Structure 1
Amino acid sequence: MEGTRKRQARPSGWFSTPPRPLTALDEEHAREEARTLAENAGEEGCPRLARLLAEEGPSARFLGAVFDLSPYLRDCARRDPQALEHLFDQTLEQRLSALTAAIDAAPFAEENSESAMMALLRRLKREAHFLIGLGAMSGEAGAQKTVERLSALACACVRAAVDFLLLDAHRQGKLALPDPARPSRGCGWIVLAMGKLGAGELNFSSDIDLIVLINPNAPAVTDPIDAPEIFVRLTRRLVRLLQDRTEDGYVFRTDLRLRPDPGSTPLAIPVEAALHYYESRGQNWERAAMIKARAIAGDIAAGENFLRELQPYVWRKYLDYAAIADVHSIKRQIHAHKGHGEVTVRGHNVKLGRGGIREIEFFVQTQQLIAGGRFPELRGRGTVEMLGQLSEHGWIDEEAAEGLAEQYWFLRDVEHAIQMVDDEQSHILPEDDEGLDRIGRMLGMADGKAFAEAFRKALHLVERHYAALFETAPQLSRGLGNLVFTGDGDDPGTLETLSGLGFERPSDIGRIIRGWHFGRYRATQSAEARERLTELTPALLEAFGRTRRADEALLRFDEFLSGLPAGIQLFSLLQSNPRLLELLATIMGAAPRLAAIITRRPHVFDGLLDPHLLSELPNKAYLAERLETFLAGGRAFEEVLDRLRIFAAEQKFLIGMRLLTGGIDADRAGKAFSDLADLTIAAAFDAVHEQFALTHGKVPGGRAAILGMGKLGSRELTAGSDVDLILLYDHAADIDESDGAKPLAPSQYYARLTQRLIAAVSAPTAEGVLYELDLRLRPSGNKGPVATHIEAFRKYQRSDAWTWEHMALTRARPIGGDESLCAEVREEVEQVVGLPRDTRTIRTDAVKMRRLIEEEKPPRDIWDLKLIPGGIIDLEFIAQSAVLSGKCTAEPRPTRTDAVLANLAPDFADAQTSDDLVAAHRLYMSLTQIVRLCLTGPLDPDDVPPGLADLILRTADLPELSVLEAHVKETAAKVRAHFERLLRP
């Protein structure tokens, strides 16, 4: 009888089939998580789940591993164990169908308040999200099924929110719905899904991209004149209903920036206005975006009719010159990283990085635009489906289609795993072994090494097919044509070829190239060098032509060439290494600052020859090892300083190149630039101290420490940042002078030592400047001594410092000098920052200081991201005020602004506010890193090099500068609103 009861108790739902085994990072922790959930399940009325977890069978071990690997899924299970209890009676598919039905019914619930709707949608979405994640980790659903489920969930939530708002408008008499039982019919409100949601390929923690249109003449509209205002208000409420964070979380973050001209159009646009925009002003990226557009909510029939009317705009029957230019413009945004050497796994961006998801998607869209006008079969939304169609119609071979499809789904699985850890919209792999182990095990692999091997193999396969696809795709233009640069005059055929390649002043370009061939530069004086350059010229011209400001790129290359001592080696390298040629063209076309660096110091270009450049993360250990090797041969003081300058210039350049090519993101670049400054300034200080001691000896018991402040302290340096420092010292109490041939009093000793450090780092030599130093953040600013005794520092910070000085101290970090004093300084900074303070005073002082900065240094324009209202300074002041008020929950306390903003105490800022601030900081720093890397001055949107525009847009993952400008304005307005609310007393 006992055995019969056990057999009868066996689950019939999802738990009836054991999931695939998963290996936890920490088996004991996994068992503990399962035990904790078992107790929780018993308390929450889930007896079957409690028994299953207590028995420690395959399902219990699987769930324990899930909760060990994914804190997000663990928290979902703890919050709602009933979600798992349902799976004893239902399969995942059945339960997800039931949840979808509940979402569809939500607008018609008896309790119709907006807050009740928000809470209900969030609870239903959270359970569905949890189950979809569980399906992915158990192997019940592959990547394709997972994206379908996520997309269906998002569509249901948007549809329900729209229906709820329509019914609410109907009850208030603002609309007269023809059939309230089916609110969307004839309502005049159209919601189009774009991007991954439109294609049915949503990722686990994705935003949803929407375009909202209105039909003022729809049956539900009582007054066409009032319709725009009504629907704009409804759209604003729709966004709030879906994305505002509450105690129940959020539904989906919602993005409306893909609408026509987002900087100057309302959130909801009349259909006629949208059609007119696309037909008269629509751009190539908007054509590509519209491939995936799909009506998902509101008046579906009207939405489908709009998309039908738009088809001639998207799918052009004949490939005229404008269409070819469109396609080439899109292809210029894609960089086939052929021959770039090894690919890094740590910190790799699965979406935007080399061999990533975006490369496959862009290629498919490009080919669709080329051929979709003539072949309706190529007009589908799905990436993998269209790979099959491209193969079937002979545009790509079967092996490429199958290989790319397989790797596409593998990369989507990796993307989901990254996002399932903490429900963060990230596409970047961890940088540490444990993080990679976690991702590998979430995918059912043995460990991080197995994952890294599979991942690297996938990226290389994508790269190989991707580069080959562009080589073998049907050519849209004929061969290069004439390229004759002999004699004194212009060859008409050559001028035509140069114009076709994108050069606006072909005659001037021809004259410059003839100068090369006449041996007017040292690099082209030998016959062999000129011969190599002649062979290289066609590839050079093609590469520069692709930069979209070809004349400027070639002129910068000409200046680079004029300074080279010899050319044979470079020309041979460029000829045999297409990677270098593409990188050189990118620098010359998009990055005037980098172009100036290699023009002044051609030797930094040698660093690009390292085959491991893009596979090594430039972390502190990596840089320290290389610095030690580079300094090993330097003996004389001046030689050490020059070597430091050479090393720093080369490494800044190489960090910049990694950022430029997508090898690292802006966050990692900021850390790398800061680590480089730490190491080189500390090395310069050691050299200066050693040299200084030859004359003045040392102070008995003396110790000195360098305190990094500002962006160095917060590890957010850019390529062009100055460095803020404070030098602190200590010595035995009874010492009056140093022990050298020319003794100095301790205060005088360390003041002169600091001045020597400033000269060693900031004085220009033949190798330039190491860093511009700023010591104005020291106690008493410019009026105080350049070096400060640790006791004077303590006294000043505790008795005399202003609020802004304590705010600055929240970013302070010792970077070099005596280790014991560094530890002391670190502890002192923590104590000062942690002193009890009047919160109201901190906020008042912060607001006053921000107002003063606005008056004295107003922003130039919206691109002055540091100074704009709602810009970087606002974010820094919020973070610093929070730290001083004890409202940062992270331990140990971070100095990075984004880390503070991500850990704001709930009684200071709610989760939605924290998310907004972190997203804004990420956007601003991503743009700032690229702009400071490439330009020596401010960004002028009317004169930005097109290659740089492409880089900026790739960094922001947006299609057009006008869209980015609208996004920056919207972000700044949101940050300023939070600033006012959080800091106004």
Structure 2
Amino acid sequence: MLAALGGHSSHLAHLAQAESQAILDFAQHGADHAFAEVLAPLQRLPVAATRSETVTRLRRSKRRGALIAAAADLQGRWSLAQVTGALSQLAEATIDHACAYLLREAAQRGDLRLPRAKLSDARGIAQDSGLAILGMGKLGGRELNYSSDIDLVILYDPHVAAYHAEAAGALYVRLARDLVRMMEERTADGYVFRTDLRLRPDPAATPLAVNILTAITYYESLGQNWERAAMIKARPVGGDRQLGQSFLDEIRPFVWRRHLDFATIADFQAIKTQIHAAHEVRGAHKTVQVAGHNVKLGRGGIREIEFTTQVLQLIWGGRDPGLRNQDTLGALASLAEASRLSAEAAAELSEAYVFLRDVEHRLQMVDDRQTHQLPEDEVGLARIASFMGFADLETFADELVRHLSLVEAQYAHLFEQSSESDEHAADDPSAQPLLFPPDGHDALTLARLSEMGFREPTRASTMMRDWQAGRVRAVRSSRARDLLRRQLPAILAALAAQREPDVALSRFDAILSDVSTGVQLLSLFQRNPALLRRVADILGAAPALADHLAHNPSALEGLLTESGPGSSTALLPALVGTARHFEEALEGARRLVTEGKFEIDSAALEAAIDVDAAGEARSDLADAAISALVPHVFDDFARRFGKVRHGSLGIIALGKLGGREMLPASDLDLVLIYDHPENVSESHGGPRSLPSSVYFAKLAQQVVAAFTSPGAEGKLYEVDMRLRPSGNKGPVATSLSSFKRYHAESAWTWERMALTRARPVFGTQQLRKRLSSSIRDALLMRVEARVLPDAVSMRARMLRDLPADGPWDLKARPGGLVEVEFVAQALQLAYAQKHPEVLAASTRMAIAALARHDLLTQQEASTLIEADRLYRTLTGLLRLTVGPWRRPELPPSVGTVLLRGTAGLTGTLHDLPMLRDFIEKKAADVRQIFEDRLGRLAEEPR
């Protein structure tokens, strides 16, 4: 080890001589122990310490810590993460110690109010000091390199500890200036850390320490993408850490945007171009090379790995909090796990990052210089190769070039894909832009539009002239129009591929007219060509879904997942859980539910998932929304009215949600049940108390309002409460005792039938267990012989009073979905006491269970299950395409969707008349089973 130090670095050799005790401690007790001994003197601030003594202590600790980190690195005892983590920890400890001295000095001068009991605690003294220090860059990410600057942002709250708030600015600026001086000033003992404060908000116009409110206002109004990237790594490293964290929480929406923004890629590419232009003379080469190459800023270097990682984090991290890692290697792993970066790419970038950071460290260890540039001469390169542990320069050079080339390729794939596509388009005549002159129509363009399949080329041309002239809302900016110009051939090709291109084009025009800014949308299409084709298919086939998309363009984001429907469901708990307050939680839930619904609906439309999988996915999404959002409702309510001791509110799902068979636009059928000890009569702990029953009634109203109130992303769900014991006339919430008593004494047959689909979806573990038990008890109690006749009578009244709304109302029609469900529910209710195993919330599972107990024949069960799937499939597809439809004939594009979606259920049917005949046959079979098992229906009125 000593030979390695002395043979490659005069700086390390000098440190080893000056700090021989640290080297001995390292050799005898190991790196971890030796490093802990370095940090120990920084934990406390000697009461009588002078500034000179404090600075000397800081410099010696830095010297010893850097030596031990270098020795552990060179001997392979520490990984890169351990080395950079130790250096970051050392920097943080020195900041704490220096701050403690300066704050105590300010308190002794009478400038700050600080508790005397904490004046010797290097970290405790900073609590409630009004001073917050954020570590940025590599310090923030715990990735500090061997000779790195520490990037800091120093903030203050003038109202916390300063005696005079109006003079606080000058006081905290003085503290910032003194801190920089203590860290940077060089003496015979060296220096602590070079310090850079240029990442503060608007550094040319703001002082060294910035008022927190000023900083928040800046980021909310003027912050740029590069500042968002810088804030990814920001974390409190000194001063009052709680104050620093509250600031980061406040600007979280600035860093992690609500919607995907692929336009960020272009911004970062421009930044990288500026870096190359500014540093080219210093070796930030535009090509991969060895001699003189800058391993940080050059092609294939560390910065390209960081940019790739940070851009993907900024694009996807607003939607997925799991991607908000501060360290590069952790972020790459998270991106791969979330399928935002291929596992191979993440592995290549991670391996290259470790290698290039090791090279960077060796370069800096030579003379303790902040350099990233390899030597120009062969002798210098050979020394670095040896320092890296390579036997010869050639082997080192090959390995270096391999890593640089892999990084270059991955960077180009993300950042330069669009420019390459433009170059290819220039060589492809079919992709050449059409001409849409502002004052007329180009004859060749009209002819080409006709050839593409547009039946009204003049109207199509007029639309696109309006787009290019910026007359449509989404393309009013020049940047949006430039993106549109590049994307127009692909957009037209995708729309022309539809069965009715003119209709699809009109729907795309509606989207552009409704979107506030087209840059994000068009960048989304530019980076994801497959998404454009999927959207065009939706516009061509599903007017109802297209209309939803026009009013909720953010729903597109749900289509970009590679893990299939359900990604929004998986992200809901984390996104809503990290919300700063109730409104942010509600907004996040609305956004992900909107995306999730569209994601599932699109997959169902494309026949990528069947109706059972889609129903379960929609139900999982609703379950996740309830589980994630309701605790926020509770917390918000408790702040106003306290809590009922040992009381709790639970939610029971019924209907399609209860059976996990939700269709597009399904309501949530809910019953809210509360329970509390008899001796607890009111709430406590809030500004206002309420009687327990009133408390839970109001809390239930807040829960329902959270799901039904509209916002920018629409509303979460419609909620149907009619199945609660009191119906629509009573309180929204019912006590558990009342619920049990009602179903034991007063429930109607139809209410008991509905209860077969009940399942608890929210509540404490104990309450959910009691709810499940109460539901089961209600279903297993002895029922009158009137169950089956009551079901037949109810169905007859429905046929008379609520007839089918047209030939495609497959729920209410004779032999339709209602009759399938009545068979399942009535037979379960009639035989549950004797055969409790027949109870199942899902219709198809209940039917299968009834057949296992010979309450239905296998043939009857198969017929009912097939009809159930067919009806739900067609109903879902009709809701997505045309919505309520009363005419016998369907648009041609819709017929294509129905035939494709039911192919696995009907065999090969070539046209809609054949499908209609199939439905009629299935309905007749269902009606026969209904009458055989429940009883004959009176003849329906003509």
State the SS of the aligned residue for 1:778.
Answer: coil
Distance 1:495 1:707, change over 3 A: same
Q: For 1:765-914, list aligned pairs within 5 A.
A: 765-838=711-784, 840-886=785-831, 891=837, 893-905=839-851, 907-914=854-861
CA distance in 2, matches of 1:748, 1:572: 51
What is the TM-score with the length of structure 1 in the denominator? Answer: 0.49
Are the aligned partners of 1:481 and 1:494 in contact in 2 as well (CA < 8 Å)?
no
C-alpha displacement at 1:677, in angstroms? 1.0
**Alignment match, 1:930:** 877
CA distance in 2, matches of 1:873, 1:506: 47
**Alignment match, 2:475:** 524
Q: Residue 960 in 1 paired to residue 911 in 2?
A: yes
CA distance in 2, matches of 1:984, 1:867: 18
CA distance in 1, matches of 2:815, 2:739: 33
**Alignment match, 1:562:** 513
> What do the CA deviations read for 1:745-791 (whole angstroms, capped 9, x no partner)?
11111111111112111112233211111111011312332111111
CA distance in 2, matches of 1:968, 1:862: 11
Amino acid in structure 1 at the alignment position of 2:877: I
CA distance in 2, matches of 1:952, 1:943: 10
Q: For 1:286-365, list aligned pairs within 5 A.
A: none
Q: 2:896 aligns with which of 944, 950, 957?
A: 950
Amino acid in structure 1 at the alignment position of 2:782: P
CA distance in 2, matches of 1:576, 1:750: 49
Q: 1:552 aligns with which of 482, 487, 503?
A: 503
**Alignment match, 1:664:** 609
Q: For 1:379-390, list aligned pairs within 5 A.
A: none
CA distance in 1, matches of 2:617, 2:446: 45
Q: 1:729 aligns with which of 648, 669, 674?
A: 674
**Alignment match, 1:502:** 453
C-alpha displacement at 1:573, in angstroms? 4.2
Q: Residue 920 in 1 paired to residue 871 in 2?
A: no
Q: 2:688 aligns with which of 730, 742, 751?
A: 742
CA distance in 1, matches of 2:535, 2:711: 27
State the SS of the aligned residue for 1:951.
Answer: helix
Amino acid in structure 2 at the alignment position of 1:831: D
C-alpha displacement at 1:943, in angstroms? 4.4
CA distance in 2, matches of 1:769, 1:527: 33
Amino acid in structure 2 at the alignment position of 1:753: L
CA distance in 2, matches of 1:891, 1:534: 63
Are the aligned partners of 1:645 and 1:767 in contact in 2 as well (CA < 8 Å)?
yes
State the SS of the aligned residue for 2:619.
Answer: helix
**Alignment match, 1:542:** 493
CA distance in 1, matches of 2:518, 2:715: 27
Are the aligned partners of 1:670 and 1:929 in contact in 2 as well (CA < 8 Å)?
no
**Alignment match, 2:359:** none
Are the aligned partners of 2:623 and 2:761 in contact in 1 as well (CA < 8 Å)?
yes
> What do the CA deviations read for 1:249-299 (whole angstroms, capped 9, x no partner)?
xxxxxxxxxxxxxxxxxxxxxxxxxxxxxxxxxxxxxxxxxxxxxxxxxxx
Q: 2:584 aligns with which of 634, 639, 649?
A: 639
CA distance in 2, matches of 1:671, 1:727: 22
State the SS of the aligned residue for 2:631.
Answer: helix
State the SS of the aligned residue for 1:904.
Answer: helix
**Alignment match, 2:648:** 703
- Structure 2, unpaired ranges of 5+: 1-428, 904-908, 937-942
Q: For 1:364-403, list aligned pairs within 5 A.
A: none
Aligned positions, number: 500
CA distance in 2, matches of 1:601, 1:731: 41
State the SS of the aligned residue for 2:680.
Answer: coil
CA distance in 1, matches of 2:731, 2:476: 55
Q: For 1:416-431, list aligned pairs within 5 A.
A: none
> What do the CA deviations read for 1:11-65 (whole angstroms, capped 9, x no partner)?
xxxxxxxxxxxxxxxxxxxxxxxxxxxxxxxxxxxxxxxxxxxxxxxxxxxxxxx
C-alpha displacement at 1:812, in angstroms? 0.5
Amino acid in structure 2 at the alignment position of 1:523: A
Are the aligned partners of 1:482 and 1:497 in contact in 2 as well (CA < 8 Å)?
no
Amino acid in structure 1 at the alignment position of 2:540: G
> What do the CA deviations read for 1:912-938 (whole angstroms, capped 9, x no partner)?
111111110111111122222334433
> What do the CA deviations read for 1:836-877 (whole angstroms, capped 9, x no partner)?
334x41110001111111111111222101100111100110
CA distance in 1, matches of 2:848, 2:602: 29
> What do the CA deviations read for 1:650-703 (whole angstroms, capped 9, x no partner)?
111111222233332111111111111112123332211111111211111212
**Alignment match, 2:664:** 719
C-alpha displacement at 1:526, in angstroms? 4.0
Are the aligned partners of 1:889 and 1:903 in contact in 2 as well (CA < 8 Å)?
no
Q: 1:981 aligns with which of 915, 932, 938?
A: 932
State the SS of the aligned residue for 1:781.
Answer: coil
Are the aligned partners of 2:539 and 2:546 in contact in 1 as well (CA < 8 Å)?
yes
> What do the CA deviations read for 1:437-480 (whole angstroms, capped 9, x no partner)?
xxxxxxxxxxxxxxxxxxxxxxxxxxxxxxxxxxxxxxxxx979
Distance 1:947 1:781, change over 3 A: same
Q: 1:590 aligns with which of 523, 541, 554?
A: 541
Distance 1:921 1:701, change over 3 A: same
State the SS of the aligned residue for 2:650.
Answer: strand
State the SS of the aligned residue for 1:695.
Answer: helix
Q: In angstroms, what is the RMSD of aligned CA positions?
A: 2.3
- Structure 1, unpaired ranges of 5+: 1-477
Q: For 1:401-440, list aligned pairs within 5 A.
A: none
**Alignment match, 1:655:** 600
Distance 1:570 1:700, change over 3 A: closer
Q: Residue 492 in 1 paired to residue 440 in 2?
A: no
Distance 1:589 1:765, change over 3 A: same
Amino acid in structure 1 at the alignment position of 2:471: R
Amino acid in structure 2 at the alignment position of 1:919: E
Amino acid in structure 1 at the alignment position of 2:452: L
State the SS of the aligned residue for 2:728.
Answer: helix
Are the aligned partners of 1:934 and 1:948 in contact in 2 as well (CA < 8 Å)?
yes
CA distance in 1, matches of 2:651, 2:465: 54
CA distance in 2, matches of 1:900, 1:937: 29
CA distance in 2, matches of 1:728, 1:954: 43
Are the aligned partners of 1:704 and 1:729 in contact in 2 as well (CA < 8 Å)?
yes
What is the TM-score with the length of structure 2 in the denominator? Answer: 0.51
State the SS of the aligned residue for 2:590.
Answer: helix
Distance 1:488 1:784, change over 3 A: same
Instruction: Tell which structure's C-alpha radius of gyration is larger.
Output: 2
CA distance in 2, matches of 1:758, 1:484: 53
> What do the CA deviations read for 1:222-263 (whole angstroms, capped 9, x no partner)?
xxxxxxxxxxxxxxxxxxxxxxxxxxxxxxxxxxxxxxxxxx
CA distance in 2, matches of 1:609, 1:793: 44
Are the aligned partners of 1:482 and 1:494 in contact in 2 as well (CA < 8 Å)?
no
Distance 1:488 1:890, change over 3 A: farther
C-alpha displacement at 1:482, in angstroms? 9.5
CA distance in 2, matches of 1:500, 1:480: 14
Are the aligned partners of 1:810 and 1:833 in contact in 2 as well (CA < 8 Å)?
yes
Are the aligned partners of 1:894 and 1:900 in contact in 2 as well (CA < 8 Å)?
yes
CA distance in 2, matches of 1:743, 1:627: 32
Amino acid in structure 2 at the alignment position of 1:818: T
> What do the CA deviations read for 1:465-508 (whole angstroms, capped 9, x no partner)?
xxxxxxxxxxxxx9799943124223333333323323222211
Relative contact order, higher structure (CA 8 A, sep 6+): 1
Amino acid in structure 1 at the alignment position of 2:636: Q
Amino acid in structure 1 at the alignment position of 2:629: A
Are the aligned partners of 1:862 and 1:968 in contact in 2 as well (CA < 8 Å)?
no
**Alignment match, 1:972:** 923
